[in-house]
Amino acid sequence: MSAELFARTYGRVPEVTASAPARANLLGEHTDYNNGFVFPAPLPFRTSVSLARTEGPEGAVEAVSANFDGRLKHAPGAPAAHHWADYVAGCVEILRGEGFAIPALQVAVAGDVPMGAGISSSAALEVATMRALNHLLGLGLDGRRIATLGQKAENQFVGMPCGIMDQMVSSLGEPGQALFLDTMTLATELVPLPANYIIAIVHSGVAHRLVDGGYKQRRQQCEEACALLGISSLRELGVSDLPRLEALPDILRRRARHIINDNQYVLDGIAALKAKDYKRFGELMSLSHLSEKDDYGITIEETDRLAEDAVTFGALGARQTGGGFGGCVLALVAADRAEAWWAAMAPRHPLARLIYPVAN
Ligand code: GLA
């Protein structure tokens, strides 16, 4: 995909092409920046990046995207310019900051990851860019390092204070499996997804927006709760510690309770999947949605209605995925009932789109 765009744009073939997937998170939302547990899975949507060295100063980037008009330029050392190429330039700047020499580059980006859906188009672009540079320049980065450097690009260059979940699953995930990640130790375990069920992904039709500050504010509220509780992260507390939250003001109590409960839902969910207890896994998804809604305040009316209807029409469970304030709802549905399930859902949600599985 991106190789053709590269050839069309720059009149030569790229030296390297690499790609990386988007993700859906099954359980454990906003837990990653609290040193907690997450349980995402890679999706069959990918971003691909083709690049080649060119004449010019080290760290200069010229980039095109199949999804946006124009040829964007980044001068070495320049700050983020608030457009899609920041994710590419951010990777280059972070690698330079780590002491790697990065030549001037021409870059082309393409792919089929829906944007604004909350399935992490940004991490897919960062990981694909890091992979491409790793190959081109023989940097010797392993999958974990690619993920942490991608997160650094997003935190320090783009300015979005995200956790490590998206880059880790994009870098280390395997198709058909979910990735249990302990964000404190970065330990991972692959857990097979149920065979006769699908995780349907429904875009609510409302683009998720993290730029409005809701994400950052949640992060600050968790930090405030920790300061008042005298702990360094909410990971230090489990469900048996919930009574300790009584000491907090109402809003912080609810924020902290979500993190503690959703961490537990991840652990319980993995146990349920391993025991092939899909009904329980579905229940945990729905509990997690309620926690996102009532305690963390990151859902919207459309995703609440979708999650509720999904179960009414036969899903074992459903929840909003990702950073929140819109985006997608996941539903665990028996594969042989999926078509009838969506046929019942669709008329009630004219704005919503089933983005996975996609009808051919
Ligand atoms: C965004 C961030 C992740 C994570 C999720 C919420 O996708 O990039 O680090 O915090 O939101 O779970």
Q: Which residue bears the tokens 């992979």?
A: 131
**Minimal CA–CA distance to 124: which of 84, 67, 171, 81?**
171
Question: The tokens of 81 are what?
Answer: 């310019």
What is the distance in A from the centroid of ligand 1 to the CA of 187? Answer: 18
What per-residue confidence (pLDDT) applies to 90?
98
Q: Positive or negative CA dihedral for 42, 43, 48, 49?
A: negative
Does residue 119's CB lie within 6 angstroms of at least one atom of ligand 1? no
Instruction: Report the atom number in ligand 1 closest to the C-alpha of 215.
Output: 11
3-state secondary structure of 162: coil
What burial class does residue 7 get, using C-beta atoms within 10 Å of its C-beta: 0-12 exposed, 13-18 middle, 19+ buried? middle
Does residue 163's CB lie within 6 angstroms of at least one atom of ligand 1? yes
What is the distance in A from the centroid of ligand 1 to the CA of 326? Answer: 13
C-alpha to C-alpha distance for 149 and 147, rounded to whole angstroms: 5
What per-residue confidence (pLDDT) applies to 15?
98
The overall pTM is greater than 0.95: yes
Question: The tokens of 304 are what?
Answer: 């609440």
C-alpha to C-alpha distance for 350 and 273, rounded to whole angstroms: 32
Q: How far is residue 207 CA from its own chain's centroid?
A: 14
String of DSSP letters for 92-109: HHHHHHTT-----EEEEE
What per-residue confidence (pLDDT) applies to 115?
82
Does residue 114's CB lie within 6 angstroms of at least one atom of ligand 1? no
Atom 8 in ligand 1: which residue has the minimum CA distance? 162
Radius of gyration of the chain (CA): 21
Taking the chain (360 residues) in consecutive chunks of 10 residues, what is each chunk's mean pLDDT? 97 98 98 98 97 98 96 98 97 98 98 90 98 98 98 97 98 97 98 95 83 87 98 98 98 98 98 98 98 97 98 98 95 97 97 83
What domains can you pick out in the chain, each with its CATH number?
Answer: 2-191 (3.30.230.10), 197-215+259-356 (3.30.70.890)
What per-residue confidence (pLDDT) applies to 360?
41
Question: The tokens of 119 are what?
Answer: 């399935």
Does residue 30's CB lie within 6 angstroms of at least one atom of ligand 1? yes
Does residue 295's CB lie within 6 angstroms of at least one atom of ligand 1? no
Q: Determine contact, residues 26/41, Cβ cutoff 8 Å.
A: yes
What per-residue confidence (pLDDT) applies to 213?
87
Atom 5 in ligand 1: which residue has the minimum CA distance? 323
Q: Which residue bears the tokens 């095109």?
A: 64
Question: The tokens of 322 are what?
Answer: 């990702």
Q: How far is residue 244 CA from its own chain's centroid?
A: 31
